[in-house]
Structure 1
Amino acid sequence: MTDAPKRTPLYDLHVELGGKMVDFAGWEMPVQYPMGIMGEHNHTRAKAGLFDVSHMGQVILRGENVGEKLETLCPQAYATLKEGKARYGFFTNEEGGIMDDLIVSNAGDHFFVVVNAALRHQDIPHMTAHLDGVEVTEIFDRALVAVQGPSAENVVGDLCPAARELKFMETTVADINGVECRISRLGYTGEDGYEISIPEDKAIEVSRAFLAHDDCEPAGLGARDSLRLEAGLCLYGNDIDQSTSPVEASLGWAMQKRRKEEGGFPGAARIQKELAEGAAKKLVGIKPEGRAPARQHVEIQCLEGNTIGEITSGGFGPTVGGPVAMGYVSAGHGEPGEKVNLIIRGKVQPAEIVSLPFVQQNYKR
């Protein structure tokens, strides 16, 4: 017997809005609404989309020197993370692979961490076991919604003026319609926007208030995936996993200089060696010619017919107007402009390696 999928606090609203519900990481989540994936994607790029991300794990860390202790698990500079700031990061394993990626925020008297839904069963025991003297508490009584797109500031800011003051990767606690929420200016679409942690009993009320704005429409998992792919953002389990190093995944930007130099995190020896000498493979953007999308595990060959890698994420990019993909190619390949062949269902499809992202990121700096 498998466990029935769990439901987020917004489940009834999704059904009411015509959401097509699917099982995702053990949760019943909307993959799309009547507008359709393409419509939701384009609306988010042009105005604003509301996404339910309540399946993600929300964790509070309390104790002395939490940031310093997190640095023993992550190659990010959390000891120097200022109050009110958020930072993208990841847990590494002893082999230098990525255990999960996460967002860490310094909330003043505690740190607030958001981890991937499918890996909360791994991440929370990992923090509990290794963060000595830190109280690790997963919170189950809050929803998490993302309002994303160029109109997000108006959608959220009209109800909460404090949200307008936040810059990218900043976080605060403020009232929305009289409900105390944690508002963070970040997201997973490449667009400006917010992720908002809301008490579960007020989640539908606050979400309805956002959706009452003329520019805001509900959006599901399908649009979330096509948006993040165009923005060149990694998906755990596809583009990064336990065997992939941050250097291979082109995530060097997410490791601060001090941490790269001093190490002191799991797998530091491999990661520092790859930073100095280069990795065996690297993540690149790939633009297939024609209209057929290249999905995960599609083989990438050089023009001489040798296998040089494989696709990890791929699909149709509505903003790009054609198929887009990301994948790994071996060292010596991967310069933008390099022509390659993709083997899709036994047929050769020409493609080109391109710089990421496919669509310019529009964060509020």
Structure 2
Amino acid sequence: MSDQPIEEDEPLEAIELGKLPLDAWHRDHGARMVPFAGYEMPIQYEGIVAEHEWTRSSASLFDVSHMGQLALRSPENDPELAARELEKLLPGLITSLKPNKMRYSMLLTEEGGVIDDLMVTNTGPHLALVVNGACKWDDIAHLREHLADEVTLTHYDDFALLALQGPKAGDILEELIPGTGALTFMTADLFEYDDGHIWVSRAGYTGEDGFEISVHEGSVAKLADALTSDDRVKPAGLGARDSLRLEAGLPLYGHDLTLETDPVSADLTFALSKKRREGGGYLGHGPVMEAFNNGPATKRVGLKIEGRMPAREGADVFAGDTKVGVVTSGGFSPTLGQPIAMAYVEASYAEEGTELICQVRKKSLPATVTSMPFVAHKYFRGN
């Protein structure tokens, strides 16, 4: 996700916003709605900390239907064309992606800046892309501009996307939709539901085990009711999703990732496959490899901050009296019981254990560079 909610005292009616397929469902369940990425979205129900902790201990249902769900299809006489074309725009290896497998990657500019980060899945018949909500129209325009005319691009704007996240998610979904429990992290498949089909991916953006479920808007309320009728599942909003992804050390587009950041400075080199690093052939390859081979000027790092006051986006980071960086995401970690943040700092200050200072409201908060994730990932990779 990319945009932060607009100030709480700004009325929703002041901005023309889209409505999620579950808009009425959220309101009926007591959600507090805020503007986010062009939609009215639930920021919380019971409370951000309570929802955060429930996700860590049981399972929460998040509505992420603002995300863009796209499909790329090749002509029948060249089934791999879509994969080859997509590889021109991102650094991931897509032509070798096996059916029902997923891969994280990024659309890049010629200068190596990040247009968006996204998930790519080989469904068999086509490639499925899930892109950030606030970026999806720009992403669609970028793809249509650069992909071969023979590649068909479809936007599934009549499908919702739910995320069931937490340590009990696997058992819960398996009981409702048999077969889903066999999925492992970064795999996906098609399942029957409500006289139709749903696409289930074992993935998410909380650091916990869980699933993302693509379901037609006509069936999403029935699915949400079925999941939350289980006492182990509660609805959760954007607030808990953000605090969970921060603890998981996952970057947020528009904040930790922008057109001015590249995959190397963002510490996302795992997404640069060796074959693509050596062979190139994608937008931004030259600048990205210059940063990879020579080191970036700045680097995304984790910060643990002393005390109780969080350092939020925009806070300056100092080494002594010298400004060396800026916070891009920050907040209080319910799991760790202390403030944490992500920041871009000069590369010479990015080593783990480096002591820095975050400047917040004329207060100097001691901070230490730490490895991420702040809280260990709990992805299900099989027994």
Indicate which of 170, 175, 182 corresponds to 1:153: 170
Q: Is 1:328 equivalent to 2:344 in the alignment?
A: yes
* Counterparts of 1:193 and 1:180, CA distance in 2: 19
* Counterparts of 2:147 and 2:124, CA distance in 1: 18
* Counterparts of 2:187 and 2:156, CA distance in 1: 21
The answer on whether the counterparts of 2:22 and 2:220 sit within 8 Å (CA) in structure 1 is yes
Indicate which of 355, 359, 380 corresponds to 1:343: 359
What do residues 237-277 of structure 1 show as CA deviations (whole Å, max 9, x unaligned)? 11010010100000001121111111111111111111111
* Counterparts of 2:20 and 2:36, CA distance in 1: 12
What do residues 65-111 of structure 1 show as CA deviations (whole Å, max 9, x unaligned)? 21111110000001111010011111000111100001111011111
* Counterparts of 2:294 and 2:247, CA distance in 1: 29
Indicate which of 182, 187, 200 corresponds to 2:199: 182
Q: Aligned to 1:118, what secondary structure does the other structure show? A: helix
Q: Is 1:236 equivalent to 2:248 in the alignment?
A: no
Q: Is 1:58 equivalent to 2:74 in the alignment?
A: no
Q: Is 1:45 equivalent to 2:62 in the alignment?
A: no
Identify the residue that residue 126 of structure 1 maps to in structure 2. 142
In the TM superposition, 1:96-107 aligns within 5 A as: 96-107=112-123
Aligned AA (1:342): C
Identify the residue that residue 4 of structure 2 maps to in structure 1. none
Q: Is 1:211 equivalent to 2:228 in the alignment?
A: yes
Identify the residue that residue 23 of structure 2 maps to in structure 1. 11
CA-atom RMSD in angstroms? 1.1
Aligned AA (2:43): V
Identify the residue that residue 265 of structure 2 maps to in structure 1. 248
* Counterparts of 2:86 and 2:14, CA distance in 1: 34
Question: What is the deviation of 1:124?
Answer: 0.5
* Counterparts of 1:169 and 1:114, CA distance in 2: 13
The answer on whether the counterparts of 2:194 and 2:219 sit within 8 Å (CA) in structure 1 is no
Q: Is 1:114 equivalent to 2:130 in the alignment?
A: yes
Aligned AA (2:109): N
Q: Aligned to 1:158, what secondary structure does the other structure show? A: helix
What do residues 204-244 of structure 1 show as CA deviations (whole Å, max 9, x unaligned)? 00011111112110000000000000000000011010010
The answer on whether the counterparts of 1:159 and 1:177 sit within 8 Å (CA) in structure 2 is no
Q: For structure 1, which runs of at least 5 residues remain unmatched after alignment?
A: none
Q: Aligned to 1:181, what secondary structure does the other structure show? A: strand
The answer on whether the counterparts of 1:293 and 1:316 sit within 8 Å (CA) in structure 2 is yes
* Counterparts of 2:67 and 2:307, CA distance in 1: 36
The sequence identity of aligned pairs, in percent, is 45
For normalisation by structure 1, the TM-score amounts to: 0.98
Q: Aligned to 1:66, what secondary structure does the other structure show? A: helix
The answer on whether the counterparts of 1:40 and 1:49 sit within 8 Å (CA) in structure 2 is yes
Indicate which of 91, 96, 102 corresponds to 1:75: 91
Question: What is the deviation of 1:179?
Answer: 4.0
The answer on whether the counterparts of 1:100 and 1:116 sit within 8 Å (CA) in structure 2 is yes
Identify the residue that residue 27 of structure 1 maps to in structure 2. 39
Q: For structure 2, which runs of at least 5 residues remain unmatched after alignment?
A: 1-12
Indicate which of 188, 195, 201 corresponds to 2:218: 201
What do residues 303-347 of structure 1 show as CA deviations (whole Å, max 9, x unaligned)? x31111010000011111111100011021111111111111112
In the TM superposition, 1:273-352 aligns within 5 A as: 273-302=290-319, 304-352=320-368
How many equivalent residue pairs? 363
What do residues 108-132 of structure 1 show as CA deviations (whole Å, max 9, x unaligned)? 1111111111011100011111110
* Counterparts of 1:310 and 1:25, CA distance in 2: 23
Q: Aligned to 2:242, what secondary structure does the other structure show? A: helix
Question: What is the deviation of 1:171?
Answer: 0.7
Question: What is the deviation of 1:178?
Answer: 4.5
* Counterparts of 1:327 and 1:20, CA distance in 2: 29
